[in-house]
Structure formats: C-alpha cells, structure tokens
Amino acid sequence: MHNLSTPSVESGSGLEQMKDSFCRRHREGAIVRSVASLLMWITAIPAYQVGILDGTQFRGITAAVAYLVAMNFPLLWLAGRLRSKNALEFLSITFHACELFGYTAIIHFAGGLDATYLTLIYCGIIVYVGVVAPRRHLFIVAGMSALAFILVVLLERSSVLRTYPFYGDFAGGQATWGATWVILGIVSALLFVVAIISAYSSKLLKTSRRRLRLQTDQLRREIDARAETEARLRLLVDEKQLLIKEVHHRVKNNLQMISSLLRLQAEGTSEPRTRTALMTSHGRVDSMSMVHEMFYQSGDLRRVDLAPFLRNLTANLVAVYDLEGGPIRVRIDADPVRVPLDTAIRVGLVVNELVSNALKHAFPDLDTEGLTLEIVMRVDSDSAELTVVDNGCGLPEGLDWTKTDSLGLQLVQNLARQLHGDIRLDTTHGTAFHLRFPITAAPETPTGPST
C-alpha cells in the first residue's frame, strides 16, 4: 500500500529514490496492517469466550492474524533487493493479494456469508490503497476483494469449505442461491463504489497536495526573496549610517580647521576688539564641531545626548579663556536628554554665547572669592529648561538686553526663536538666563543661527 508514481528511468538516483519511497510506504503499510490485525484478534477473544465463535474459528482467526503479521518480513526483505520498476509494481500487487488472502480467511472463520458486514475490511483496504497508491491499484484491489469474497462464499455453499454460522449452531438454514448471488452482487458493487469514491477523493487529495506543495514552494521563494531584500536593505542602511558618520566626521574636521584658523588669526593680532571677535567666532565654530563629533561617535545618528555635550562645551570654553584652576567655579548639572542635531547645535550656540559673555564680562575682579558660574538643565515630558546663571557684576543698569546692539545677545534671541522656545532674564539672584524649549521634535527652521 504505497505510491508507485516513480520516474521512468530505472538506473541511478531515480531508481534508488523509487525504491526508498516503495520500501518506506510498505513499511508504513506493514505497521498499519499488523496493528489492524491484532485489534481484530483482540475483538475475537470476547466473542470466543461468550460462544459466538467456536474453538476452530478462533484458532483460524489467530492463524490468519499471525500470517498477516509474519508476511511483512519476507516481502519487505524482497522489496529491498529488486532492481526494476516493473518488479516493484508486481511485488506491490502481490502485497495486496497476500493481505487480502489473510483478511478473507478472517471473514471465512468469522462466518462467511453470515459475516457480510466484515466486507468493511475490504473497503478499508481499498480506501487506504487510494491514499498511497496509483489509481489503477484501486480497481485491481477492489476486483481481487470481490473475487476473494465470492470465492469463499461459493466454496462454503459447495461444502468445499466448512460453514461457520455466525451464532454457532443456529438452525436458521442457508440462504437460497438466488439470495446468495444478490448478496454477492451487492457486496461486489459496494467494493467498486468504494473504489470509485476513493479514486475521486484520492485525486482531490493529491491535487490539493500538489497545490499545497506549489504554494509552499512559492511561499519559500517569497521568504527567500524577502530575506534577500532585507539583507540588501540592512546593507544599504549600514552603508548609509557609515556615510552619515563620514559626513559628520568630515564636517567636524572642516569646522576644526576653521576654528584653528580663527584662533591662529586671533593670536596673531594685537588689536583687542578684533582678537575678541575672532575668539568669539572660534568658540561658536568649536561648539558646532563638538556636536558633529558626538554624532559620528555615537551609535544613534538621529539624536545626541545633550548633557555630556554641554559639559564638554563648557570645559572647552574654560580652557579657551584660560580659567582652569582659577577663581571662577564652574558647575554643570544637566539631566540626560537626547535631541536632534539641529536642536543640539542651537542649544550649544546659546550656551557658548551666554557662557562666553559671563566669562568675559561678569567677573571683572578675579580676586573676589566665591565666583560661580552654573549651567543647569532640567527635563520634563516634552520640554527642557536650560539656565545659565552667574554671581558676577551683572548687566549694566538700565540695559534692555532684548534691544541691545550686542551680536551675542541678538544671536541668543534668534536661536531661542528657532528652537520654538522662549528665553527670559532673571536678576533676582545674580544674572540668570532661562531658556525653555521643546524636545519632542526638531526645529523646523533651517540649521544655523540667523542674526
């Protein structure tokens, strides 16, 4: 009971594949046949104990079951040694004939014509063959089943074989020859009807299997194609990230070069106002350079952590104004927050302007003790507040810082607007600038300060 739809080539890997399929299916059939036979033998035990079957019937059923189990071994051994497709197909039909002989023996000992209901065994064999074997085997098995049942009934009626009435010595008399032929005709027709239905169902099943296999293959190809596409996309993303890092690195290098040129120019001039302007520009360029450096060193190319950037920027400004270890105590207290590149650049420029102004103008007398400059940043759910506060001399009395001619303070106001934030001055305790700006989205205005 197997599928013999094998390649026509009887040599090489085609024949070996056919043999493997043949042996595998017959091994499965042997297991099914053995289990079914043993179950029939188990059901015969209580029938024998209550007197439905006599000793001869029970022994006959036992011998038939033993035969159905034992027949598997020589036939499977023979199947492994054949080298021809025709021989394998002939052996397959022989398998069916041998198992029909065993099941017919069980039907005979169970009652023959009186056990017509046992033709369900034949039906089960036909259905099973329809699942695993070519369609032509269905009708061969159906024909052999009908002939086997007709033969055993005729031999019983002709007294060639002993008759075993279903209920022992039931004296109901035998059915007439006419009734016998009607029963045999019905049984034979039933077997062929089962074969036709099984063939149709088998065709649908195999068509469904083929369609499912095609769909599975197509799905596998689509999965492979999607995996390949995802791999290409990952490669493109990696290349894009590498390119972005390279761009930030080159921008940083260019800005550092400009910063170095400004510093060299400042050191080479003796005019104080020009020197101060150049150093101020140097600080602004440095602040933008730091942002790009942090971006390409970070694994996140969309946002940068603002807190370490502010610490580095302030330390750089202290070094530029040569205040390290000096009387001014600089303290930074910033909550961690990740912001886009544009936001980081604008906030850095604001801090650069405010800290530079404080270091240049808030502490005219460096001999005074307790001089402090603090940068504090507090973050809530959707915004941050940056405070730059010093306890220096403060702004000139009467100065309106929002209308001053100072380029630095004008730059701070413009940057605050670009951040969609607001900035205010508090002189209650020293000079404190408070900048509040959103952190949930990047500014929509173009990058870079405007004056």
Give the domain CATH number at 432: 3.30.565.10
Identify whether residues 165 and 21 lie together within a single domain. yes
> What pLDDT score does 46 carry?
86
Of the CA atoms within 13 Å of residue 115, those in its CB half-sphere come to 28
424 neighbors 388 (Cβ within 8 angstroms): no
Domain assignment present for 214: no
Q: What is residue 378's three-state secondary structure?
A: strand
> What pLDDT score does 280 carry?
76
Chain centroid offset of residue 195 CA: 44
Among 129, 158, 174, the domain boundary falls at: 174
pTM above 0.75, yes or no: no
Identify whether residues 21 and 163 lie together within a single domain. yes
At position 13, the amino acid (one-letter code) is: S
> What pLDDT score does 277 carry?
78
What average pLDDT does the segment 384-396 reach?
86
Domain assignment present for 439: yes
Distances (CA, A) of 86 to 9, 78, 90: 12, 14, 6
Q: Which position has the higher pLDDT, 354 or 324? A: 354
Q: Which of 128-132, 259-263, 370-374 has the highest mean pLDDT?
A: 370-374
Domain assignment present for 79: yes
Identify whether residues 165 and 312 lie together within a single domain. no
CA distance 301 to 287: 18
Does the CA dihedral 167-168-174-178 come out positive or negative?
A: positive
Domain assignment present for 235: no
Q: Does the pLDDT of residue 191 top 80, yes or no?
A: no
> What pLDDT score does 226 carry?
92
Phi, psi of 449 (to 5 degrees): -70, 155
Q: Does the pLDDT of residue 78 top 60, yes or no?
A: yes
User: At which residue do the structure tokens 């973050």 appear?
Assistant: 379
pLDDT digits (tens, 9 = 90+) for 421-432: 999 988 887 788
431, with CB counted inside 10 A (0-12, 13-18, 19+), is buried
Identify whether residues 309 and 164 lie together within a single domain. no
Q: Which position has the higher pLDDT, 6 or 159? A: 159
Q: Which range marks the domain in which residue 328 is found?
A: 304-451
Provide the β-strand partners of residue 423: 435
Identify whether residues 17 and 158 lie together within a single domain. yes
Among 153, 174, 195, the domain boundary falls at: 174
Q: Which position has the higher pLDDT, 175 or 320? A: 320
> What pLDDT score does 166 carry?
55
Helix ranges (H only) for 268-403 are 272-297, 306-320, 341-357
Distances (CA, A) of 240 to 244, 304, 318: 6, 18, 36
Domain assignment present for 357: yes
Q: Does the pLDDT of residue 113 top 80, yes or no?
A: no
CA distance 382 to 324: 35
Assigned token pair, 62: 């036992």
CA distance 139 to 321: 103
Domain count, the chain: 2
Q: Does the pLDDT of residue 444 top 90, yes or no?
A: no
Q: Which position has the higher pLDDT, 355 or 449? A: 355
Give the single-character DSSP code of 164.
-
Among 157, 174, 191, the domain boundary falls at: 174
pLDDT digits (tens, 9 = 90+) for 289-331: 777 777 666 666 678 888 888 888 888 887 777 776 678 888 8
pLDDT digits (tens, 9 = 90+) for 242-264: 777 777 777 778 877 887 887 78
Q: What is residue 400's three-state secondary structure?
A: coil
Domain assignment present for 267: no
> What pLDDT score does 3 carry?
41
pLDDT band, residue 434 (cuts 50/70/90): very high
Distances (CA, A) of 27 to 33, 63, 134, 137, 201: 10, 22, 17, 18, 23
Helix H or strand E encompassing 376: strand 372-379
Domain assignment present for 190: no
Domain assignment present for 23: yes
- Which of 360-377 are b and which e, b meaning 16 or more Cβ less than 10 Å from the residue's Cβ? ebbbeeeeeeebebbbbb
